[in-house]
Structure formats: structure tokens, C-alpha cells
Amino acid sequence: MPQHASNTPVCCACDGFATAAITTGARHRNGSRATLTVACPACKGTGHTARAHASVKAGR
């Protein structure tokens, strides 16, 4: 079975992770980069593309 099912609208912006890591430019004391994890604005944290896209296709 392929990893990406054709009928699963995975968000292309976050690749289905539903979150996006934003690098702040700052670093932690241990040297690692400080990042902010926010909900993906493209899919609003769902990890899938908006349903409107699919409903347009199904509405016909």
C-alpha cells in the first residue's frame, strides 16, 4: 500500500504534520535552535487540506 493514499488530502504546506516549526533565530543554552511550533495556517492544524477543495469537486 502506498504511503500517500490518493483520497487523503494531506496538506502540502506541512506535509500532514499539522504544525510548522518557526525558527526564532535565538538559541537555547545547550546550543539548539529555539523554535516555535504553531498550527499550520494552511490547514489550521488539521494536517489535511481544506474540505472546500474536495467539496467543489464532489458538488458537481
Residue numbers of the site for Zn ion (CB under 5 A)?
11, 13-14, 40, 42-43
Minimum Å distance from CB 47 to Zn ion? 6
Nearer to Zn ion, 27 or 38 (CB): 38
Minimum Å distance from CB 38 to Zn ion? 11
What angle is formed at CA 42 by the lines to CA 5 and CA 3, rounded to 5 degrees? 15
Nearer to Zn ion, 15 or 34 (CB): 15
> What is the phi/psi pair of residue 5, to 5°?
-70, 135
Q: Are 37 and 49 in contact (CB under 8 A)?
A: no
